C-alpha cells in the first residue's frame, strides 16, 4: 500500500465520516470488560503463559502507569491524581514492587521484555532517584532485551537537560512530548502553559543525547483554537521535526470527565473548524515528508514505525501502533490494562482499592475478559485491517478453520457500501484497504465488530478521524 494519496483528503469526505467509533487498541474494546473476570482468571492466564515454555510464549511488554501530576490540564481524560505532594510517590513505588513480585511468583524471575512504556499521569513527576529505583526494581525482575523499545511520556514543564541525561542513563531510547498546541492563548485556556522555546530546547537536547525517536502529541479541537491558529502550531511542529507525531481529536465530554467542566463550551471550535484543522494537518505533515501510518499517527520515512508500515510488520497494542510483534502485556499500576494470552485485564482505578488488593497479597485486577473463539477470529481480522490494511481470506480460514465469506456474510454485504465509496476493494483473495480508505480505516474495521452490531450507542468512543 502506498503511504500517500493522489489527491488531498477533502473536508467534505472527512465530514461524511465524522462519526464515533473505537480506536481498536484491542478487540474486544476495553468498554466490554466485565467484573466477572476475576483475580483467579488472571492468575490462571499467567500460569498458562509459563506452562507454554519459551518456544510457545509470546514476547513480553510492560506498561507502568504513574498517575501523579502537579497540575490539572483541563482537557485531560486520563486516570490521574493531581498533587504537589511528591512524598506520595514513594509508597506508590513500593506497591508497584509488590505487584511485580506477584507476577514473578507466577512467571519466575528473568522473563525477557522487548518493550516498556511509562505513561500517566506524568511519569516525570517522579524524581531522578525515584526513576532509578523504579527501573532498578524492574531490571531485577525482568531481562530487558538490548534491541527493545523503552519509552516514557514526558511533560516538558517537569524536565531539563540534566533529567534527559538520567533518562538516557536508565535505558530509555524513546521520548513522547506532550505538546498539544503551541498557541499561548490555547495553552492558558487548558491550563498547560509551556513556551515553544522550552520544547524546542528540550528536543534539541534529546537529540544531542542520542534518543532513537521523539514523538510529539498534538490535540485539535481545544478551546480558542481556529484553523488559522493551528496552522501556526503545525508549522512549528514541522520545524521541530519529531520522528513521530500523534494527532488526537479533543472530545468534549464534561459529563464524564470533571476537569473538562472548566472549559466554556462556547470556546470549543465548531465541527466545521475541527474538520478543517484535521484536513490542514494531514496536508501539512504529508507535505513535509511524513508518512501517514494510520488513524492519528504520522512518522518520518526513516522512523521504525514508517518502516514497519512499509514492510507489513505494523502491530497495535494499548499504546497504539507499534513495531513490536504481537506481545503479551503486563500492565502495572493503578488502572493499567494488560493482555495475557486470550485474556484482557484491568487494575483497580483508585489508589485506595489498588493498595487494598496488594495489602491482601492479591493481584489488583478488578475486571477483564476471556476471549471467545469468535472474539479471537474477529480480533485477527480487525488487527489485519488496522495494521496491514488487508485481510487475506486463506490465512484467516486456515488459522481459524472457517469459510470466510460464509462466516462473515452480513459483514461482506455491509462492506460493499465502503467498496462503492472507494474505501476498500474485495476480490477472491481478500479485502484490501485503498490508499483513500486508509484514512478511514477505523470505519472499515467497525464492520467486523460484533459488539457494535448489537449496540449502536457509540457516544463512548472518539470520532474515527
* pLDDT tens track for 374-428: 999 999 999 999 888 899 999 999 999 999 999 999 999 999 999 999 999 999 9
Number of domains in the chain: 2
- Residue 214 within a domain: yes
The reply, when asked if residue 92 is annotated as ligand binding, is no
Tell me the C-alpha distance between 245 and 81, whole Å.
26
The string of DSSP codes covering 333-385 is STT-EEEETTEEEEE-SSHHHHHHHHHTTS--EEEEEEPPHHHHHHHHHHHII
Based on the fold, state whether residues 292 and 150 are members of the same structural domain: yes
Based on the fold, state whether residues 208 and 275 are members of the same structural domain: yes
Of 276, 296, 330, the one marking the end of a domain is: 330
In this predicted structure, what is the pLDDT of residue 465? Answer: 53
Based on the fold, state whether residues 138 and 23 are members of the same structural domain: yes
Tell me the C-alpha distance between 137 and 140, whole Å.
5
- Grid cell 486456515 in the structure block, residue: 398
Full residue range of the structural domain in which residue 379 is found: 372-453
- Residue 305 within a domain: yes
Nearest to 341 by CA among 35, 58, 109, 61: 58
| CATH code of the domain covering residue 260 | 3.80.30.20
Residue 214 near residue 242, CB atoms below 8 Å: yes
- Grid cell 462492506 in the structure block, residue: 415
Of 300, 330, 360, the one marking the end of a domain is: 330
The reply, when asked if residue 153 is annotated as ligand binding, is yes
Q: What is the pTM of this model?
A: 0.90
Beta strands 315-317 and 365-370, pairing class: unpaired
In this predicted structure, what is the pLDDT of residue 5? Answer: 41
- Residue 355 within a domain: no
The reply, when asked if residue 78 is annotated as ligand binding, is no
Tell me the C-alpha distance between 14 and 28, whole Å.
26
Tell me the C-alpha distance between 189 and 165, whole Å.
32
398, burial (CB in 10 Å: exposed 0-12, middle 13-18, buried 19+): exposed
Based on the fold, state whether residues 54 and 191 are members of the same structural domain: yes
- Please give the grid coordinates belonging to residue 306: 514508517
The reply, when asked if residue 180 is annotated as ligand binding, is yes
SS3 34: strand
The reply, when asked if residue 63 is annotated as ligand binding, is yes
- Residue 362 within a domain: no
| CATH code of the domain covering residue 446 | 1.10.10.920
Beta strands 60-66 and 111-120, pairing class: parallel
The reply, when asked if residue 251 is annotated as ligand binding, is yes
The reply, when asked if residue 337 is annotated as ligand binding, is yes
Based on the fold, state whether residues 321 and 423 are members of the same structural domain: no
Based on the fold, state whether residues 285 and 377 are members of the same structural domain: no
Based on the fold, state whether residues 42 and 111 are members of the same structural domain: yes
- Residue 440 within a domain: yes
The reply, when asked if residue 45 is annotated as ligand binding, is no
Based on the fold, state whether residues 135 and 246 are members of the same structural domain: yes
- Residue 199 within a domain: yes
Phi and psi based region of residue 108 (left: phi greater than 0; alpha: psi -120 to 50; beta: remaining): left
Based on the fold, state whether residues 22 and 112 are members of the same structural domain: yes
- Residue 244 within a domain: yes
The reply, when asked if residue 321 is annotated as ligand binding, is no
SS3 52: helix
Of 278, 308, 330, the one marking the end of a domain is: 330
The string of DSSP codes covering 255-279 is TT-GGGGGS-GGGSPPHHHHHHHHH
Based on the fold, state whether residues 248 and 137 are members of the same structural domain: yes
Instruction: Give the H or E element holding residue 304.
Output: helix 304-311
The reply, when asked if residue 451 is annotated as ligand binding, is no
In this predicted structure, what is the pLDDT of residue 415? Answer: 95
- Residue 363 within a domain: no
Write out residues in the chain with pLDDT < 50, as ranges.
1-6, 458-459
The reply, when asked if residue 192 is annotated as ligand binding, is yes
In this predicted structure, what is the pLDDT of residue 425? Answer: 97
Based on the fold, state whether residues 324 and 407 are members of the same structural domain: no
Amino acid at each position: 500500500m502506498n503511504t500517500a494519496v493522489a489527491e488531498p483528503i477533502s473536508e467534505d469526505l472527512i465530514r461524511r465520516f465524522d462519526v464515533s467509533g473505537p480506536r481498536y487498541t484491542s478487540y474486544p474494546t476495553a468498554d466490554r470488560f466485565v467484573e466477572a473476570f476475576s483475580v483467579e482468571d488472571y492468575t490462571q492466564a499467567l500460569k498458562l503463559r509459563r506452562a507454554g515454555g519459551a518456544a510457545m510464549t509470546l514476547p513480553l511488554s510492560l506498561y507502568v502507569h504513574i498517575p501523579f501530576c502537579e497540575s490539572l490540564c483541563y482537557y485531560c481524560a486520563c486516570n490521574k491524581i493531581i498533587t504537589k505532594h511528591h512524598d506520595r510517590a514513594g509508597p506508590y513505588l513500593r506497591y508497584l514492587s509488590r505487584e511485580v513480585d506477584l507476577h514473578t511468583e507466577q512467571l519466575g524471575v528473568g522473563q525477557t521484555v522487548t518493550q516498556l512504556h511509562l505513561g500517566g499521569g506524568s511519569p516525570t513527576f517522579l524524581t531522578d532517584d525515584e526513576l532509578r529505583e523504579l527501573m532498578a526494581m524492574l531490571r531485577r525482575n525482568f531481562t530487558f532485551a538490548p534491541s527493545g523499545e523503552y519509552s516514557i511520556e514526558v511533560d516538558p514543564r517537569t524536565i531539563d537537560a540534566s533529567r534527559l541525561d538520567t533518562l538516557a542513563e536508565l535505558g530509555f531510547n524513546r521520548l513522547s512530548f506532550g505538546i498539544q498546541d503551541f498557541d499561548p492563548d490555547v495553552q492558558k485556556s487548558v491550563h498547560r502553559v509551556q513556551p515553544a522555546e522550552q520544547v524546542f530546547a528540550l528536543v534539541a537536547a534529546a537529540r544531542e543525547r542520542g534518543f532513537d525517536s521523539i514523538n510529539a502529541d498534538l490535540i485539535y479541537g481545544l478551546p480558542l483554537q481556529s484553523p488559522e491558529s493551528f496552522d501556526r502550531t503545525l508549522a512549528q511542529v514541522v520545524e521541530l521535526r519529531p520522528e513521530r507525531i500523534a494527532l488526537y481529536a479533543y472530545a468534549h465530554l464534561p459529563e464524564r470527565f470533571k476537569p473538562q467542566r472548566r472549559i466554556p463550551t462556547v470556546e470549543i471550535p465548531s465541527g466545521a473548524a475541527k474538520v478543517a484543522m484535521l484536513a490542514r494537518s494531514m496536508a501539512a505533515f504529508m507535505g513535509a515528508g511524513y508518512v501517514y501510518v494510520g488513524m492519528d499517527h504520522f512518522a518520518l520515512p526513516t522512523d521504525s514505525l514508517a518502516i514497519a508500515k512499509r514492510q507489513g510488520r505494523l502491530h497495535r497494542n494499548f499504546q497504539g501502533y507499534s513495531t513490536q510483534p504481537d506481545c503479551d502485556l503486563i500492565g502495572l499500576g493503578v488502572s493499567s490494562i494488560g493482555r495475557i494470552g486470550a485474556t484482557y485485564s484491568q487494575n483497580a482505578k483508585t489508589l485506595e482499592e489498588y493498595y487494598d488488593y496488594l495489602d491482601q497479597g492479591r493481584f489488583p485486577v478488578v475486571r477483564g475478559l476471556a476471549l471467545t473463539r469468535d472474539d479471537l477470529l474477529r480480533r485477527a481480522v480487525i488487527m489485519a485491517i488496522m495494521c496491514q490494511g488487508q485481510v487475506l481470506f486463506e490465512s484467516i480460514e486456515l488459522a481459524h478453520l472457517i469459510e470466510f465469506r460464509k462466516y462473515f456474510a452480513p459483514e461482506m454485504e455491509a462492506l460493499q457500501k465502503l467498496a462503492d465509496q472507494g474505501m476498500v476493494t474485495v476480490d477472491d483473495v481478500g479485502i484490501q484497504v485503498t490508499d483513500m480508505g486508509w484514512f478511514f480505516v477505523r470505519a472499515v474495521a467497525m464492520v467486523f465488530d460484533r459488539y457494535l452490531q448489537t449496540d449502536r450507542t457509540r457516544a463512548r468512543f472518539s470520532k474515527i478521524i
